Amino acid sequence: MAEKGVYFAYDSNMWFDQMHRRCSDAKVLGVGKLHGWKWIVSNSGYANIIPSPHDVVHGVLYELEAHDEAGLDYWEGQKSTKTEVQVDVMKYKDSLSQDLVTIFTYVDANNVQEGTSKEEHTGRMSKAIADAIREGIPAGYFDIHIRKFIPENWKQQQTLGTSKDQPGPATLGNNTVYFGYGSNIWLDQMKRRCPNNKFMGVGKLDKWKWIINTRGYANIIPAVPDLVYGFVFELTPEDEKELDTYEGSGYQKEYHSIDLVEAKDTYSAGTRTALIYIDTERLKEGISKKEYVYRINMAIKDGLEQGIPKDYIDRYLRPFIPPLPGDNSSTTPVLAPK
C-alpha cells in the first residue's frame, strides 16, 4: 500500500454513498480510534476534531488511490488542513494490520468552538452514523459524544434554508415541485433517494445553461439565450428532506419559474414555480467526476425516453459527459471542457 493513502474519516465521509461519490475508488479498510482528540460540531456548522487529552474519536478507515486523495484534498482542504495522525485499528480488512498506523485526516484549526450543525450536515451525519455502526463503531460512542450535536429526530427539524429574495416554492397540497437537471433525471436514482416522488414530466428553464463545474458535478449558470431541460417531480416533505441531504453539500435551494412542457399522468402542462438546487459559488466549467459520468449517462437515457430533445443533450451535456462504451445515442464529438 506504499503508493496508496490511508484516510481516517470521522465526519460525514463515514457515509459510504457520499464517500463513493467523492472518491469513486475508495476502499473501506476497517474502523479505528484516535486518542487525545474530541469530536465536535464547530462554529462553522460542520464536524471537526480538537485536541483533548482524555477523549477519543472513532472513524472509518479508507484506502485511497492517488487521484481520489487529490480529490479529497479539494473537498476538505478549503477549510481544513491535512494532518497526519496515529490511529488504533480496531477492525480491519485485507492488507491492513491490526496495529497502530500513521494515516491522515483533516482538521479545521480555525474553527474550534462548539457550534450548531447546519441542517444539511445533520442529514448527512445521520446517514454516516448508520453506516459507521454497521461497520463496527460502537453505537454508544455516538450516543455519548455525537448525539448532542446530531439528534436522532433530525427529520422533524426545520428543512434546509432557502436563499433570500426568492419566491416560495409552488406546492401541491403539502408537497413541493422540484426541477432536477443532473443525475436525478435518472429515475432509478431518484426513486432510491426519494421513494415517494411522483414524476410530473419534462420541464424547461429558460436563460440558464448546463455545465459540469469545478467540483465535478452538474450545475446551471445564468446565460441568455440558453436553456436547461430537466425532470419535474412532486416531492413529499419527507422526500424533500432526504434530497436536502444529497444536494445540500455545495448547493443552495432556490425557486424559479419553469415550464412543464411534457406533462405525465394527471398533471397539466404550464408554468410553475419549482425548487432547484444550484451551486452559487462554483460557476466555472470543470471535468466530471468519473463515477458521475455513469450516472449522467443513465440520466441521459431516461431523459431521451421521456422527451428531452436529443440536440439539447448533444449540445450541452455531451461536451462534458462521454457516452458509455457501446452507446450510440450521440453522434456529437465529445470535446474537452474549456
Q: Which residues contact 43 (CB under 8 A, 6 or more apart)?
A: 111, 113, 114, 115
Residues in binding site: 178-183, 292
Q: Report helix, strand or coil for 123.
A: helix
Q: Report helix, strand or coil for 223.
A: strand
Residues identified as active-site: 247
Q: Report helix, strand or coil for 147.
A: coil
CA angle 192, 281, 82 (to 5 degrees): 80
Residues in binding site for substrate: 178-183, 292
Locate all alpha helices (DSSP H) within the chain, ordered by sequence: 16-22, 66-77, 119-135, 139-145, 187-193, 237-247, 290-306, 310-312
Instruction: Judge whether 264 and 305 are in contact, CB under 8 Å.
Output: no
